Structure 1
Amino acid sequence: MGAATTSAAVTTPTTTSVTQPAAAAAQRPNIVFVLTDDMSSNLLPYMPQVRKLQSQGMTFNDAVVSNSLCCPSRSTIFTGQYPHNTGVLGNDGPNGGFDAFHKNGLERDTFATALKAKGYRTAMMGKYLNGYDPKATVDGQQPYVPPGWSQWDVVGDGYKGYDYKLAHNHKIEPHGNKTKDYLTDVLSEKGQSFIKKSAAAHKPFMLEVALFTPHGPSIPARRDKHDFPGLKAPHGPAFDRLPTNAPPWLARQNPLTQSEKNTIDKKFRKRAQSLQAVDKMVGKLRDTLARAGVADDTYIVFSSDNGFHLGEYRLKAGKQTAFDTDVRVPLVIAGPGVAAGRTSNAQVSNIDFAPTFRKIGGAAVSSRVDGHSLLPLLDGGPDADWRTANLIEHRHAKKSPDDPDNHGGESISPPNYHAMRTISYTYVEYDSGAKEYYDLRTDPNELHNTVGRLSRARLAELHDALTRLKDCRGDGCWSAGHP
């Protein structure tokens, strides 16, 4: 396959014999998916390789996640289904984490299983789902490797960057505290090796490298721990400020103390430092693709499982709110047929990853999938043809002392809510009856809750539209996304 191959060519796969999946797959592009953990968009300026990727591909300005929490978001990424359809609502407990994803049978139908069935080599590296333990025996396997993955290099708890156990397929590789053991660098080397072997075998491939950074404690590589001396967290309009008519859970937040602001600055600096190894990895993966002669036939996708607030709205380190700080994520895609330096304001979501990857690989998209392939947008289609609203869900998860998303006890989880995010507004309904409405055209920093100014008719219209979204399934979510 040459550089002339475009994504348009893969949206309608050519008919081939079912006995020749490898031959059919050989005509399809590769995918390299780099997924960060808790990365807010205000960290992009500190990543020159990702900014280079932006200059050579498409940046989505309004990409959001369906749930601003690690495990529900990653479950949605694998399946293309909203959390209310995956049943994975938290990081642990009966409806959370790896246990729920496995119990609900979701591993049997992911983009990995679909692509592998089409002859792709597939590799999962880094962070899988909260609660996955390489040492545990699951379905008679130890370490357990889910269906769909040709290569499995996954860590259960890699937040500290060192001293971890990595499941390399069905064997455990222990890693210590030496410089060479830094997890992001280890994943980078494994990713490069996988690309080389796949290209040499003339096999199409899908590689996901899912990082633990910049999630706290945001441990940088030792070479990067002195980067950005004196760097402070951005103090935008929402920093240490409550919105007018804030909902009760938020209205009781006190102004940040100077000590808390100092801690926020330190956290932001460490987050930027920890991403330097990720940025370097992006560059090395791209260099490897070029040297292997497959760069022109490969989609590179860079994103995060959720955003992150750090001082905005008087909230310290955390996520899970419906504010753009938490639900809006970086999304950059470069690849065959994607025009360089383009931006899109289409209302895309993490429900769209799985159907996009399936379409690239020529696999059918199940009617159970809630998302939609991004290929029409990547091929230059107009934003106006896309959905106009995305669903944000949050089910109040009981805090566990072992949950890394407690962020040292700083994280505040809002009460249960559903929200609808469009290009022009964010509308939130809490189970308690409280509501929020932010006009993003006149109030892009979401500082004025104007729900009290809306007419009864408008409120009823918003409620009905949100209800259709939060109840939608499969193909019906596309129409529900056009309120």
Structure 2
Amino acid sequence: MFTFNVIEKTTLFTCWIALFSVAAAHNQLQNHKTSKNAKPNFVYIIADDQDAATFNPELMPITAGWLSDGTNYTNFFAPVSVCCPSRVSFLRSQYAHNHNITDVVVPYGGWDTFESYGYNGKWLPSWLQEAGYQTYYTGKLMNGNNIMNAVTRPTAGFNGSDIFLDPYTYSYINTSISHNGGPPIKNTTYSTDIVRDIGLGYIDAAVQSDQPFFIGLAPIGPHSQSLPAPPLPYRFFPPVSAPRHATLFNNTLAPRGNSFNPDWPSGASWVRTLAQANETVIEWYDYWYQQRIRALQAVDEMVGAIFEKLASENLLNNTYVIYTADNGFSIAQHRRDPGKGTGYEEDIRVPFMVRGPGIEPGINEVTAHNVADISATIANVAGAEADYDIDGRVMPWGSANAKTRDIGTPTHHLSEYWGTTIGETKYTQGIIYPNNTYRTLRLIEDDNNWAYTVWCTGERELFNMKNDTTQMHNDLEGLGVAAQSKFFNSTLSQAARVASRLDGLALFLKTCKGADCRFAWKHLFPNGEVTTMKQALNTVYDQYFDRLPKIQFTSCDLGYFNAHELPYWSTNLAFFHDLDTPNITLPLYKRDPEAYAWLQCGS
């Protein structure tokens, strides 16, 4: 997967082993220590645009060493594959169709839109404060925190904050910061090192208090450098590393999987129209990748510094340390320019690893979770409450302390997107790719691992992720169910049978709210006949799923307009036993002609 010269590889491996030893020594040292706080602390580290593939010991040895005592969730996803909406899903523990922050700029996203909805102060840090926590945050919060509104629209809910401000958020060496809601302050220290140093200071402040704490650390690495460039709002450049890392990974190439710049078109919508990149472009892509992983080295060092500080303050035994990212990133997959914004794995699968009290070391490969679940779990463990019904599920590492909420069924995840997307290199500056509105459902169980996407163009994709991890073979290709039609036909193929189930599940999830989102199968099958995909694939349910109306978009909107995404879920669509015909299962159509007629119309 990676290509190193001998010196690079030997040095990295040696450092990795040494750092594992240091981490293990600290772990043993902390075993007999306790914190003065009864409630646990939280350190939340969120990288920017880091795909799951770049979260590995070879590229981030320090982080891997310290988190080796934690659980690695390998099926963790972004609810929206772009930063601002995904970050709001964390802060509010909601799907994007509920918080309706769907873009990075007004009118559909950004800080001003977030604040205008009344969300400022009604989010995780505020819940934690009410539960007795000191809360701190530094780095990037979301797009739209800028030098014009830093004072007029300051963030609420933090005891201490140092928020990066646009238009300099993505400048690695010329950052503008608002300290505790104050006016912009310029800082020319390397951006990730700023986050590190401020974070260490927060720990110093927190230990002076008898209260438990939450500290959010949000470096911009490995996001592309982005600077104002009229007439474009911004122009993208490769990420910038700290000078100390500038010569690393000189021979490392972007991963060459089956979907890397393929010989034939793949994907759907605008993706399928892309031309194959030539060697000159691919060389630029490799350089872009090198800069991404060089920028990650300062993030890796920051994680180590935070762990060292927690260890020195006797806090490791009572602190959960979380590492994740807001969305993924792709380079040349399906011929795409470096960037994000689609429902393919590179864009939505992100790292998630947590270490803390009661967490067993290992890998969780079965359950599927998303960014909204993080805040739900933190709140649950901290004994904090939102003043609305949140969508997120309590993850297994926090379920032992569950008091008021059920965990739900952690086997499905819905990624959503509305609008357009862009490429980020010099070869695509200014190009906007339209028709990028879609819903992607990921379902993961022991026997089933599927990715199903409905595009606003009417196209549908189904990938069996057990044997097609690069998503190059759409199982619906060439079938009638791939076109815009109202219903499925399970007699066409096994793929059609699978798609009918996934479409039905997504039909419910696309407008779900609160606790309902955690129990999708229960709403399709109120009597409990089906709780897994394996059960749903029983042929006895073919007629039910085939006759459910399919998800359809009436237009490719730039924002979320639910009237343009039909049909709406209704309890009349749920499955019921027909009590007059034992051993035969039928939907409610027989008893409710109006529901049957409505279903036939598919609207």
Which category of TM-score, normalised to the shorter sequence, fits these structures? 0.7 to 0.9
State the match for 2:63 in structure 1: 50
Partner of 2:507, secondary structure, is helix
Q: Distance in 1 between matches of 2:242 and 2:337?
A: 25
TM-score normalised by structure 2 residue count: 0.70
Relative contact order, higher structure (CA 8 A, sep 6+): 1
SS at match of 2:90: helix
Ranges of 4+ aligned residues in structure 1 off by more than 6 Å: 2-6, 242-245
Structure 1 residue corresponding to 2:163, chosen from 154, 161, 172 = 154
For residues 434 and 448 of structure 1, do their structure 2 counterparts lie closer, same or farther at Cα, with a shift above 3 Å needed? Answer: same
- The corresponding residue for 1:433 is 458
Would you say the 8 A contact 1:321–1:413 is kept in 2?
Answer: no
The answer to whether the aligner puts 1:64 opposite 2:77 as a matched pair is: yes
Question: Distance in 1 between the 2:414 and 2:267 partners?
Answer: 21
Any residues of structure 2 matched to 1:126-275 within 5 Å, and which? 126-136=139-149, 142=151, 144-156=153-165, 157-172=168-183, 174-177=185-188, 181-217=189-225, 218-241=239-262, 246-275=267-296
Matched letter for residue 310 of structure 2: L
- Shift, 1:109, TM fit: 1.8
RMSD (CA atoms): 2.8
**Inter-CA distance 414–314: structure 2 relative to 1 (3 Å threshold):** farther
1:419·1:428 contact (CA, 8 Å) conserved in 2? yes
For structure 1, the residue ranges without an aligned partner over 5 or more in a row are 7-24
Structure 1 residues 395-410: aligned runs within 5 Å: 395-397=418-420, 408-409=429-430
Query: Aligned partners of 1:473 and 1:234: how far apart in 2?
Result: 38
Specify the alignment match of 1:11 in structure 2.
Answer: none
Between the two proteins, what is the percent identity of the paired residues? 25
Any idea what SS the aligned residue of 1:370 has? Answer: coil
Cα deviation for residue 108 of structure 1 reads 2.8
Question: What secondary structure does 1:309 align onto?
Answer: coil
Report the counterpart of residue 290 of structure 1 in structure 2: 311
What is the deviation of 1:426? 0.6
Structure 2 CA distance for partners of 1:410 and 1:216, relative to 1, 3 Å: farther
- Assess, with a 3 A threshold, how the Cα gap between structure 1 residues 271 and 158 changes in structure 2: closer, same or farther: same
Deviations 1:213-260 (A, max 9, x none): 101021111111111122211111211127877424222111111111
- SS of equivalent to 1:108: coil
Instruction: Report deviation, 1:412.
Output: 4.3
Quick check: 223-232 or 253-262, which moved more?
223-232
Q: C-alpha separation between the residues in 2 aligned to 1:446 and 1:360?
A: 37
Gaps in structure 2 of 5+ consecutive residues: 1-29, 226-238, 482-487, 491-496, 522-530, 534-603
Deviation at 1:342, TM superposition (A): 3.7
Cα shift readout 1:320-369 (whole Å, capped 9, x = no counterpart): 11111100001010000111234343101111011111112111255521
| Corresponding residue number in structure 2 for 1:15 | none
Counting matched residue pairs gives 453
Select between 453-462 and 442-451 the one with higher mean Cα deviation.
453-462
Q: Tell me the SS of whatever aligns to 1:147.
A: coil
Contact 2:393 2:410 in 1 (8 A): no
Q: What is the CA deviation profile of residues 109-139 of structure 1, one whole-angstrom value per residue up to 9, with x for unaligned ones? A: 21100001111110111001111114426xx
Aligned residue for 2:127? 114
Note if contact 1:81-1:369 (Cα within 8 Å) is conserved in structure 2: yes
Larger CA Rg, structure 1 vs 2: 2
CA 413–28 in structure 1, closer or farther in 2 if over 3 Å, else same: farther
Alignment-derived partner of residue 44 in structure 2: 33
Q: 1:21 maps to which residue?
A: none
CA change 1:54–1:198 in 2 (3 A) is closer
> Do the aligned residues in 1 keep the contact of 2:262 with 2:334 (CA within 8 Å)?
yes
Q: Normalising by structure 1, report the TM-score.
A: 0.87
Q: Secondary structure at the match of 1:444?
A: coil
1:245–1:306 CA distance, 2 compared to 1 (3 A)? closer
Separation in structure 2 between the aligned mates of residue 39 and residue 461 of structure 1, nearest angstrom: 31
**Aligned pairs for 1:10-29 within 5 A:** 26-29=37-40
**One-letter amino acid of the structure 2 residue matched with residue 37 of structure 1:** D
8 Å contact kept, 1:125–1:209: yes
2:510 to 456, 459, 470: 470
1:418 corresponds to which residue?
439
Task: State the Cα distance separating 1:186 from its structure 2 match.
Answer: 1.3
Q: Which amino acid aligns with 1:129?
A: M
Which runs of structure 2 are paired with 1:100-111 in the superposition (5 Å)?
100-111=113-124
Residue in 2 that maps onto 1:443: 468
Matches within 5 A, 1:259-338: 259-338=280-359
Equivalent AA in structure 1 for residue 375 of structure 2: A
